[in-house]
Each structure stands twice: as structure tokens, then as C-alpha cells.
Amino acid sequence: MAEEIKVRTGTPEDIHGMMDLALQACEENGLTNPNPEKLLNQIWAALNQEHGIVGIIGKYGQPLEAAILLRTEALWYSDELSLVERAVFVHPEYRSAKGGRARKLCEFAKKAAESLDIPLIIGVLSSDRTESKVRMYERLFGEYSGAYWIVGRRTGTWKAAAE
């Protein structure tokens, strides 16, 4: 019998695995050239639960299968906090595997926002398989609120544009 997929709260010991996943996510779906120092600052703070949290799928000491990076912050026009998703990423080796890793990470985010009693801001900013991602989010979160347009570039093409 297959082991059930569980999301655990990330800890500072997950920093290297998280950085590996984050850089892979930027390589695959980033809009612009990533700055590893900025990634590290966001991830490190959330792994220490300083204005954020990280949900991880994967065993300690092994390469991570998937993760979600969440930060608490006030929107530009308010003093009230929201839980804002920075990234949801499932390693390519696990995307077609059973267990619904992306769904479980989104459920983790929803529970975190509910436990904090603040709104969750989460979305799809991707030029690849966008429609299927939106359908999954609609099943999990209900009707969407808004849309994004990127003019002049597609996600995942920053590297070719920089060359």
C-alpha cells in the first residue's frame, strides 16, 4: 500500500531543499531573472515562521517533492494582514504521481489562513497548463477573483530573453 502524501511545516533545516526547488521553479516558470539572495531572504524568514510559513512534501534530509511558500503581509492600501502565496511548486518527477501534491499544498494554505483568521491570496501566474491549474484552484477555493496579463513576455522565458 502506498504511503499517504502529507504536508509538513518547513523548518530551517529545509533551506537547501527549498532553495533547490525555488531555483527550479524560477527556471521553469519565472518571469524575470531570479535573485538567489532575495529568494533566500523570503524562504529563510518563512522557514523560521517570521511573517510566513512553508508547507513541504518530502522527508527530512532527502530532495523535496513539493512546497508552498506563504507570507503574511498587509496589502499596499491596508494595515490588515493577509496570507499571500509566493509560490507553489511540485518537482517535475512528482507531477503525474498519485497523491495530488499541488492540491494538498493548496489545502495547507487554506487551513493556515483559516487558523490565522485572515484572507488567503493565492493564484496562478503561469503561461503553461494555465487552464488546468485554474480548474483545480476553482475546485479548491471556489470562484476566482480577477486575472493577470503579462505584456511582452511569457513565464518561463526569462532565460532566453536574457541571452
Domain assignments of the chain as residue spans, ordered by start: 8-162
Which residues of 21-153 form beta strands (DSSP E)? 52-57, 66-74, 81-90, 120-121
Number of H helices and E strands in the chain, helices first, is: 5, 5
Q: Could you name the CATH architecture of 8-162?
A: 3-Layer(aba) Sandwich (3.40)
Cβ pair 148, 123 in contact under 8 A: yes
Side chain identity at residue 92, one-letter code: P
Q: In this structure, what DSSP letter does residue 2 have? A: P
pLDDT digits (tens), the chain, 163 positions? 457 899 999 999 999 999 999 999 999 888 889 999 999 999 999 999 999 999 999 998 899 999 999 999 999 999 999 999 999 999 999 998 888 999 999 999 999 999 999 999 999 877 777 788 888 889 999 998 988 888 888 888 877 766 6
Side chain identity at residue 27, one-letter code: E
Closest listed residue to residue 109, CA positions, set 77, 154, 149, 140: 140
